Amino acid sequence: MSKYSIAELIQSTAQEDKEQGFFELETPHMLEVNLNGQVWAKAGSMVAYNGNIKFEREGFFEQGFGSMFKKAISGEGTTLMKANGQGKLYLADEGKRVIILELQNESISVNGNDLLAFTPSIRHEIKLMRKVTGMLAGGLFNIRCEGSGLVAITTHHEALTLRVTPGNPVITDPNATVAWSGNLEPQFQTDVSFKTFIGRGSGESIQMRFEGNGFVIVQPYEEVYMQSNS
């Protein structure tokens, strides 16, 4: 059989049941959800499915009035969708790498652009960091995931996890910051000397500062966020 034949293509790229559970890494860049019930996913992340699955965007009032308000002012009212039914669901986001995390009565905060999917047992809440609006286009928001269950996040290229320990803070670029442990509360700071170096026309150098005991996940890529319409 020719290595360029259609039969070889089908064989080398065929879906494979790895029997890893509800979430499987079908490839490093694609998540397979063995759905029997419901899963939350990033709106627009579905690339294929089989079986009987229905999709519904998260309603404004679904997580309460406070969450509705945050979504409205952040322009992110349709970030999440629910998939209900039975079958195999395949999710991906711009070819980014997928990381599966199993929370065991734990919490993690994920950049709103980097959350791919999570199981219904996970409680989620939008955290809007509006005070940085004007410093970063559109401000920043993250989604706090808490409880026991599975969470899938995405990163551009290989991720790096940095430990945060008392007396040893970690400072990151907000556009390269993917997620952090739920007990950490990042503070924003401006690197005045770097701002002076690059000149006023280039904008401010905004950094996230993590102090305490936990971890931060970063990626070797700076995502650019669109300005919201609020």
- Tell me the average pLDDT of the chain: 82
Residue 4's Cα: distance from chain center in Å? Answer: 36
CATH architecture entry for 17-218: 4-Layer Sandwich (3.60)
Give the whole-angstrom CA distance, residue 126 versus residue 50: 31
Residues 191-227 have pLDDT tens digits of 766 655 555 444 457 889 999 999 999 999 988 754 4
At 151-165, the pLDDT tens digits run 999 999 999 999 999
Q: Phi and psi at residue 169, in whole multiples of 5°?
A: -65, 160
State how far the Cα of 53 lies from the Cα of 68, in Å rounded to an integer: 26
Domain ranges of the chain: 17-218
pLDDT in tens, 72-84: 444 444 478 999 9
**pLDDT tens per residue, range 219-229:** 999 887 544 44
- The whole-model pTM stands at 0.82
Q: Model confidence over 123-149: pLDDT tens digits?
A: 998 887 655 544 554 446 789 999 999
Q: What is the CA radius of gyration of the chain?
A: 19
Q: Residue 30 pairs with which residues in a beta bridge?
A: 27
